[in-house]
Amino acid sequence: MSDLVIAIDGPAGSGKSTVARAVAHALGWSFLDTGAMYRAVTCEALARGVDVADEAAMATVAAHVTLTTLPRVTVDGRDVEDEIRTEPVNLAVSIVAANPLVRQSMVTRQREIAAAQPVGTVVEGRDITTVVFPEATLKVFLTASLDERAARRGEEGVDSVARRDRADSTREASPLRRADDALVLDTTGRNVKDVVEEIVQCLKTRQSN
């Protein structure tokens, strides 16, 4: 097992998933998409007809479902890779992610998953550097202009992304914020390869010091 973790935070559409996957591939490490976990729980709740605003009911869903994120996102063995990006999930996931009971359950799972990996883990989300892995080997905060982030999110649009930004940054449970010691990278107009190379080089520098 390895305690090496690269934690990548940032708002919606900043490139977290794409960059994190590429960094994990470059290093030969494991990858964990925490946002997909919250979306999967949201998707399952909607499928069951559970009120996502019911904190206790959502906590029960989160605590008892079996989740996987690679190679595709599944809930209790059901492939939900495509469903978690639909508009109903887009609209509801911020409510689920703001539920402190759901977050407690997910954070525990995320730490357990990373701890079980034989190599390092690249983890991405919106509270990874500040809450889930505050002692990460390397912390990265990605950002980009609102227009570019909206373009990357496809059908969500500027209003949807801006709404998600407000919800993520103002929620009481683990709000999105930049860790003081995080490497901040603006991905606007940058290709993935360059961003990945900068992160990998920063990791090598940290490890050699």
- For the chain, give every domain's residue range: 5-208
71 prior amide bond cis, ω within 30:
yes
Strands (E), 52-178: 67-68, 74-75, 78-79, 121-125, 138-143
Region at 141 (left for phi over 0; alpha for psi -120 to 50; beta for the rest): beta
Q: Please answer whether residues 142 and 8 qualify as being in contact, where contact means their C-beta atoms are separated by less than 8 angstroms.
A: yes
What is the reported pLDDT for 154?
77
Spatial CA neighbour of 139 closest among 178, 112, 106, 175:
178
Checking DSSP bridges between strand 138-143 and strand 183-186, what pairing results, if any? parallel
Separation of alpha carbons 44 and 97, rounded Å: 14
The stretches in the chain having pLDDT less than 70 are 1, 155
Q: Domain 5-208 belongs to what topology?
A: Rossmann fold (3.40.50)
Q: Which residue has the tokens 């994190």?
A: 20
Separation of alpha carbons 154 and 137, rounded Å: 32
What is the reported pLDDT for 169?
87
What is the reported pLDDT for 155?
67
Sign of CA dihedral 84, 146, 24, 30: negative
Spatial CA neighbour of 21 closest among 30, 34, 12, 9:
30
Report, in this order, helix, strand and coil percent for the chain, each rounded to 5.
55, 15, 30
The DSSP letter of residue 13 is T
What is the reported pLDDT for 1?
65
